[in-house]
Amino acid sequence: MLQRELGEIFMLEGKNNFGGALITVTKATITRDLSIARVYLSLFAPGSNKISIDDIRERSRELRYTLGTRIKNQVRHIPELEFYVDDSLDYIEHIEDLLSE
C-alpha cells in the first residue's frame, strides 16, 4: 500500500516539486513496529534538471503529511519515511557488461 500511494504522490507532485523528474518507487519496506518505512527510489531527471536523493529527503516531512492524508483511515500510525536510491538496475547492467566481455 505504501509503495502504491507514494508512487502516486511522486507522479502527481513530481511535476511541480521535483522539476519534472521521473521518480519511481521500486521497493518499500516497513519495520516490525511500523515506525519507519524504507523507500527505495529510482530517479531519472530529463534534460538539464538534476534531482538528488537529498532533495527528496529534505521534503520527507511534506511527503509524510501527504501520505498521511491519503491513508489516514487505513493505518493507525504514519511511519517516518527514509529514502534510498535503488541502484539495482545499474548493478544488473554492470553484471551484464562483465558477462558480455
Domain regions of the chain by residue span: 2-100
The predicted model gives 62-74 an average pLDDT of 90
**Is 80 exceeded by the pLDDT of residue 14?**
no
What is the overall mean pLDDT for the chain? Answer: 84
Q: What is the DSSP letter of 52?
A: -
Tell which phi-psi region holds residue 64, choosing left (phi > 0), alpha (psi between -120 and 50) or beta. Answer: alpha
- The pTM of this model reads 0.78
**Is 70 exceeded by the pLDDT of residue 55?**
yes
Q: Which residues pair with 33 in a beta bridge?
A: none
**Separation CA 99–CA 101 (nearest Å):** 5
Tell me what pLDDT residue 38 has. Answer: 94
**Separation CA 89–CA 42 (nearest Å):** 9
Name the band, by pLDDT with cuts 50, 70 and 90, for residue 46: low
Query: Which CATH superfamily is 2-100 part of?
Result: K homology (KH) domain (3.30.300.20)
Tell which phi-psi region holds residue 65, choosing left (phi > 0), alpha (psi between -120 and 50) or beta. Answer: alpha
Name the band, by pLDDT with cuts 50, 70 and 90, for residue 30: very high
